[in-house]
């Protein structure tokens, strides 16, 4: 799919959340988790005053994600009572023998959270893993016996209101406040750039495509624009207003653009572009 997107053959399907989920996380499966997946997931944060990250929360609980030797990706595991989370990550085989860890990831692109109040999507998924694991059709989930209860809400934009509403529902039912974390897509792009030098040559091929894919979808930080060259600034620095009358005759209308010098701007010259 990723090649179809990069070559403009995907007919716009790259903008659907399911395709986005499978393309990104399907490719991350082939990269060592401690290099991309784990740093990315760990950067999710709570909407509390301290903006506590998932890494900090897990660290307080004595859990170090990088000590797990395997990660299982389970896409769209169906729960008969509470629905279908986009992705469940199960971290297995801790080097110190700690219990396995399950994290639910709900992915959004342009859409909002589904459901409100008692039908709140994130609250339903929390209920599913908290009280109804046996109703998942995937055996890896229904038979899971380790640590659980963490929800990561992955979106393009700010999600404070969505997460706050979910947190209030969960708190009323279970007196649990800090278990729904927000993660933004642009942090994946930053993680890929930051960890690039540590990747193997095969991993770099995958990451190169992922970077292009995220750029195509606009899931990157806006890093500003560069200033035009001084020569171009000088050409446009004419001290005339936009519209004015020249001389005594009000009938001779002039514009700012009449006094601009003819200049040659090459078509392949990028005047505004992403800066470092």
The string of DSSP letters for the chain reads -HHHHHTT-STTGGGSHHHHHHHHHHHHTTS-TTTTHHHHHHT-B-SSTT--BHHHHHHHTT--GGGEEEEEEEES--BTTTB--SEEEEEEEETT-PPPEEEEEEE-SSSPPS--GGG-HHHHHHHHHHH-GGGBSSHHHHT--SEEEEEEEEESS--HHHHHHHHHHHHHHH---S-EEEEETHHHHHHHHHHGGGS-HHHHHHHHHHHHHHHHHT-S----BPPPPHHHHHHH-----SEEE-SS-TTSEEEGGGGPPP----TT--SS-B--
Tens of pLDDT along the chain (276 residues) come to 678 777 777 777 777 899 999 999 999 999 999 999 999 999 999 999 999 999 999 999 999 999 999 999 999 999 999 999 999 999 999 999 999 999 999 999 988 888 888 889 999 999 999 999 999 999 999 999 999 999 999 999 899 999 999 999 999 988 888 899 999 999 999 999 999 999 999 999 999 999 999 998 899 876 556 666 666 666 556 555 555 555 555 555 566 666 666 766 665 655 555 554
Location of structure tokens 């030098």: 197
Structure confidence at residue 276 (pLDDT):
47
Structure confidence at residue 212 (pLDDT):
93
Structure confidence at residue 117 (pLDDT):
83
CB atoms within 10 A of CB 190: 15
Beta bridge partners, 136, equal: 79
Tell if the pTM clears 0.75, that is, is over it: yes
CB atoms within 10 A of CB 104: 25
Structure confidence at residue 6 (pLDDT):
75
Closest CA to 123 of 155, 166, 82, 83: 166
CA–CA distance, 217 with 1 (Å, rounded to integer): 14
Closest CA to 36 of 49, 25, 52, 20: 25
The two tokens of residue 255 are: 């514009």
Structure confidence at residue 21 (pLDDT):
94
Closest CA to 256 of 246, 266, 265: 246
Structure confidence at residue 247 (pLDDT):
56
CA–CA distance, 139 with 73 (Å, rounded to integer): 13
Return the HEC string of 60-109: HCCCCHHHEEEEEEEECCCECCCECCCEEEEEEEECCCCCCEEEEEEECC
């Amino acid at each position: 799919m990723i090649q179809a997107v990069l070559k403009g053959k995907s007919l716009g399907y790259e903008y659907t959340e399911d395709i986005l989920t499978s393309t990104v996380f399907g490719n991350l499966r082939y990269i060592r988790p401690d290099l991309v997946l784990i740093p990315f997931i760990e950067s999710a944060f709570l909407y509390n005053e301290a903006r506590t990250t998932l890494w900090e929360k897990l660290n307080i609980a004595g859990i170090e994600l990088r000590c797990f030797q395997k990660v299982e990706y389970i896409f769209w595991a169906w729960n008969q009572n509470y629905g279908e989370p986009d992705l469940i990550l199960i971290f297995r085989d801790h080097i110190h023998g700690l219990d396995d860890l399950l994290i639910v990831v709900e992915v959004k692109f342009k859409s909002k959270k589904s459901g409100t109040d008692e039908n709140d999507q994130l609250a339903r998924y929390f209920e599913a893993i908290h009280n109804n694991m046996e109703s998942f059709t995937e055996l890896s989930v229904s038979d899971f016996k380790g640590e659980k209860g963490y929800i990561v809400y992955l979106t393009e934009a700010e999600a404070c209101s969505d997460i706050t509403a979910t947190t209030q529902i969960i708190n009323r039912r279970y007196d649990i406040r800090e278990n729904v974390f927000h993660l933004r897509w642009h942090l994946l792009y930053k993680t890929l750039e930051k960890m690039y030098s540590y990747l193997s040559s095969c991993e770099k091929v995958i990451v190169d495509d992922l970077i292009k894919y995220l750029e195509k979808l606009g899931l990157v930080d806006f890093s500003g624009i560069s200033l035009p060259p001084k020569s171009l600034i000088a050409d446009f620095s004419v001290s005339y207003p936009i519209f004015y009358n020249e001389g005594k005759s009000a009938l001779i209308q002039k514009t700012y653009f009449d006094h601009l010098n003819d200049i040659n701007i090459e078509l392949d010259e990028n005047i505004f572009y992403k800066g470092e």
